[in-house]
Structure formats: C-alpha cells, structure tokens
Structure 1
Amino acid sequence: MTSHLNVFQQPLAFFSNRPITGFHRDGYCRTGVADFGNHAVAGVVTEEFLDYSASQGNDLRTAGLTGGCKWCLCTARWLEALQAYRDGKITKNGVPKVVLEATEDSALRQVDLDTFRQFAAESQTNGASVNGVNGH
C-alpha cells in the first residue's frame, strides 16, 4: 500500500475486515483515481443510517451491513446524512460516527475536520472496538 494519510496527516489506520471494507477491499478507507465515490470516511453505521441510505437509493444492507458495522463510506453520502440531520429529516444517530484515524485526508476536501470531530467515534484499541461495538 502506498502512503495514505488520515485527517491528522498521520499514516492511515486499518479500519475493518469484518466485513472487509474499503474501495480496494483491503480494510482501509483509502481512495485512488478509480474511486469516483471517494470511499474515505471510516463510518460506524446505525440502523437509522441504513434506512436513510436505502431511501436515497443506496441499500447497504445488500452488502450485509447491520447497525454497528464499520464501513468505508462515500464522503458525499456521509455529508448527505449530515445535511439530513441538520434539516431535521433524521436524528443525530442517523449520521455515522467517524473513526478519524482511519478516515483518509481526501475526505477533508468536502468536510472540515471540526465537523468530523463532532461525530467522532471513540478511538479504537488495536482495531477491535469503536464505542464498545465490535466490527461485524
């Protein structure tokens, strides 16, 4: 893997292999020239987010996701959920928590770091847990 950086300009942390995620399906939320969706946001999805995403035409349950799963999200999809929350269409719980250490810095082209910090998940311990929820 070439050197990809997270939002803190540190080496990008591994995110999840249960399920295997990332545009490159290597567990990292890293992007490249072929990734037009910019799958850079390391998100912990909720059932509310999955419902919302499906209502917008992107049913992530077809990939086997359930609430609590870790998934490399398209930056624009995460931002869409944030706007839906701001517009009162979903609750704050509908915006996936973000694991900042595993979110690629390319996401900062669309979302500022302070906004991501408002939705930050607790730091992981050896990639095993986010807010006490094991990746699945």
Structure 2
Amino acid sequence: MAKNILGGDLIACSTDPMTGFFRNGKCDTRAEDQGMHTICVLMTAEFLEFSAACGNDLSTPNPEYGFQGLKPGDYWCLCLSRWIQAHDAGMAPKVRLEATHASVLEFIELAHLQEYAV
C-alpha cells in the first residue's frame, strides 16, 4: 500500500469529485504518471484563477473526459510541478498531508508542506 508524507497509509483525497491519476480518489502514482498527480490540495478561487492563467483550466467542465470542473472547497490530486509553480508565485493551495503521496518528499521538505496543512 502507498504511504503518505507522514509515513502512514495514503488516504483518499477526494471521491467527489473523483481524483487521482488512477481516478480512484487517491494521489497514488507510478512511472506512467508523468505529471506526478501526488499532492492533495484544497481548491480556492485564487488558485483556480492562477492555474487557468498558467494554461490549466480546472474550473471548466470537460464532459467528454468525465470532468465536472472544480470549484473552491474541492480537494484534488494536483501535479506536483503546478503546486511548486504556484508556491513560487505566492499562490500555493493548502495541502491535505495524509492524502499526499510520500514521493513528494523527494522534492519538498515535510516541514515546508506542514506550513500549508489544511
């Protein structure tokens, strides 16, 4: 079973909306997940606007892919590189630590992520 950044079992990030690379609700990963959808975040209006401005519109529904669009208050398995980009721009969303994959620690220190804990 996959581990979270706190060393426990990886818990679900969200099943409504359904998230994760595998669309199983968890921010689990494997080599095919080139985007590293490994960090569970809480959506805010500000972050959704930031992401859209960066070319990744997460708010607009895309029914052909079964995507209902995200709104503030939703949890989502975000690509690690987008969170880092948002952090560097001062727009990083809050992180659900228990639902964030342990592999994130290869790129960001736990103490830093704890500053953004939901």
Q: Secondary structure at the match of 1:33?
A: coil
Q: Indicate yes or no: 2:15 matched with 1:17.
A: yes
Aligned residue pair count = 111
> Unaligned 5+ residue runs, structure 2?
61-66
- Give the residue type in structure 1 aligned to 2:109: D
Instruction: Give the CA deviation at 1:9.
Output: 1.5
- Alpha-carbon separation, structure 1, partners of 2:109 and 2:80: 11
Q: Please point out which of 17, 34, 43 is paired with 1:45.
A: 43
> Unaligned 5+ residue runs, structure 1?
86-93, 122-136
Contact 1:45–1:68 (Cα < 8 Å) also in 2: yes
Q: Tell me what 1:65 maps to.
A: 70
- Give the residue type in structure 2 aligned to 1:39: H
Structure 1 segments, 4+ long, off by >3 Å, are none
Contact 1:22–1:29 (Cα < 8 Å) also in 2: yes
- Give the residue type in structure 1 aligned to 2:104: A
Percent identical pairs in the alignment equals 42
Q: TM-score, normalised by structure 2?
A: 0.90
Instruction: Give the CA deviation at 1:60.
Output: 0.7
Contact 1:76–1:110 (Cα < 8 Å) also in 2: no
Instruction: Give the CA deviation at 1:74.
Output: 0.6
Q: Secondary structure at the match of 1:61?
A: coil
Instruction: Give the CA deviation at 1:96.
Output: 1.1
Per-residue CA deviation, residues 26-52 of structure 1 (Å, 9 max, x unaligned), is: 000111111001101010010100000
- Alpha-carbon separation, structure 1, partners of 2:104 and 2:45: 23
Q: Secondary structure at the match of 1:98?
A: coil
Q: Secondary structure at the match of 2:27?
A: coil
- Alpha-carbon separation, structure 2, partners of 1:74 and 1:109: 14
